[in-house]
Amino acid sequence: MPDSGKTAPVANQAATSNHGRIIVALVFVAASSAFFYFDLGRYLSLDAMKDNRDRLLSFAQTHYSTAVGLYILVYVVQTAFSLPGGALMTLVGGFLFGPVLATVYVNLGATIGATLAFLAARYLLRDWVERKFGDRLASLQAGFERNAFSYLLTLRLIPLFPFFLVNLVSGLTRVGVGTYILATSIGIIPGTFVYAFAGRQLGTINSVREVVSPNVLLAFTLLGLLALLPMIYKKVSAARHRPESSVG
């Protein structure tokens, strides 16, 4: 006869977990829907920022601490909910705070926001993905887990991979939270500084795409490939030291 005393807490725990997932999913859907329904993106357009740059600069100079806090908070929300406008926010940060401090503030806001998106994806989807595709993903999961830092650093350094997509996909792997945070925080520094530095000339920029030239993209790609060198060296070294099978 089954022990109902033991099964009841397990059932309650599962129900609570499902309710939690539903609530988190609803929060993300509601936030994204509100952003597009109320057309909040118009406030994060390049033209809007250029038109209001004098007022923004005056507010930042008069209420510096408040401006920094609001800026980081907006960046966290934008990144956590995978909303558009990250590159533009970095340009504005460079204009308001200078490239060095803006890089620090963006790094803080983007890393916190990316971590929240990563945890949400893991909480909402990873169990389902592993149940559905576990057999097919086993080798990929193992490889990613062994070399997670190098993989993530490469993905962050090469701007060909959308930032929000890396956040969500990483949440479906078994990479540790600490490794994810460290790789994200380090990997976004070069790109952040480039945009923040360009933000000093906010009034003369007509498109966010103007900031990243082919040479800059090439430099980021080379940095990303360099991040893979430790992993490649480890594999080559292991292959060299692998004992040869004895011949009978």
| pLDDT (0 to 100) of residue 248 | 45
Residue 111 pLDDT > 90, yes or no?
yes
Q: To the nearest whole number, what is the mean pLDDT of the chain?
A: 81
Residue 92 pLDDT > 80, yes or no?
yes
Three-class secondary structure of residue 207 per DSSP? coil
Nearest 5°: CA angle at 16, between 10 and 17?
90
Three-class secondary structure of residue 41 per DSSP? helix
Q: How far apart are CA 146 and CA 160, in angstroms?
A: 23
Q: What value does the mean pLDDT take over residues 154-173?
A: 85
Q: How confident is the model at residue 59 (pLDDT cuts 50, 70, 90)?
A: very high
Report which of 219, 202, 218, 220 is spatially closest to residue 210, judged by C-alpha positions: 202
Per-residue CA distances from 226 to 10, 86, 111, 211 (Å): 47, 25, 22, 23
- What's the full length of the chain, in residues? 248
| pLDDT (0 to 100) of residue 169 | 85
